Amino acid sequence: MSAGDDTDDRPSAALISHDAGGFAEWLHFRLHRGRLAWAAPYILWVATRFSGRGMVIAIPYGFLLAFFLIPFLIVLKISFAETALAIPPYTDLIEMVDDGFEYFVNIKLNLGNYWIILSEDTYVRAYLNSAKIAAISTLLCLIIGFPMAYAMARADESIRPTLLMLVILPFWTSFLIRVYAWIVILKTEGGLLNTFLIAIGVISPDDPLRILSTEWAMYIGIVYSYLPFMILPLYANLERMDMSLLEAAADLGCRPIKAFWVVTVPLAIPGIIAGCFLVFIPAVGEYVIPELMVGDNVRVIGRKLFTDFASERNWPLAAAVSVILLAILIIPIVLFQRQQARLQEAGQ
Query: DSSP labels for 145-169?
Result: HHHHHHHHHHS-TTTHHHHHHHHHG
Closest of 121, 125, 116, 73 to residue 323, by C-alpha: 73
User: What pLDDT, on a 0 to 100 scale, did the predictor assign at position 233?
Assistant: 93
Domains of the chain: 116-313 (1.10.3720.10)
Choice between 173 and 56, residue whose per-residue pLDDT is larger:
173
Measured CA to CA, the distance from residue 336 to residue 90 in angstroms comes to: 36
Q: When comparing pLDDT for 217 and 206, which is higher?
A: 217
Question: Where is mean pLDDT largest: 52-61, 119-128, 196-205?
Answer: 119-128
pLDDT in tens, 261-300: 888 888 899 899 999 999 999 999 899 999 999 888 788 9
pTM of the model: 0.78
**Residues 238, 231: contact at Cβ < 8 Å?**
no
What is the band of 183 on the pLDDT scale with cuts at 50, 70, 90? very high
Give the pLDDT of residue 17.
Answer: 42
More confident residue, 279 or 8: 279
**21-30 average pLDDT score:** 51
pLDDT at 327 > cutoff 80: yes
Looking at residue 42, what is its pLDDT? 54
| Distances from the Cα of 50 to the Cα of 29, 33, 39, 94, 265, angstroms | 18, 22, 17, 34, 43
Phi, psi for residue 29 in degrees, rounded to 5: -65, -45
Phi, psi of 193 (to 5 degrees): -65, -50
- Measure the CA–CA gap between 336 and 330, rounded to whole angstroms: 10
pLDDT at 322 over 60: yes
| pLDDT in the model for residue 6 | 46
Sort residue 173 into left (φ over 0), alpha (ψ -120 to 50) or beta. Answer: beta
Q: Are 139 and 147 in contact (CB under 8 A)?
A: no
Residue 241 corresponds to which amino acid? M
Provide mean pLDDT across the span 223-246: 90
Q: What is the mean pLDDT of residues 22-50?
A: 54
- How many CB atoms neighbour CB 300 within 10 A? 27
pLDDT, residue 32, reads 52
Tell whether the model's pLDDT for residue 33 goes beyond 80.
no
- Rounded to whole angstroms, the Cα distance separating 71 from 23 reads 35
Residues contacting residue 34 through CB under 8 Å, at least 6 positions apart: none
Rounded average pLDDT over 27-42: 52
Q: What is the mean pLDDT of residues 33-47?
A: 54
Say if residue 2's pLDDT is above 50. Answer: no
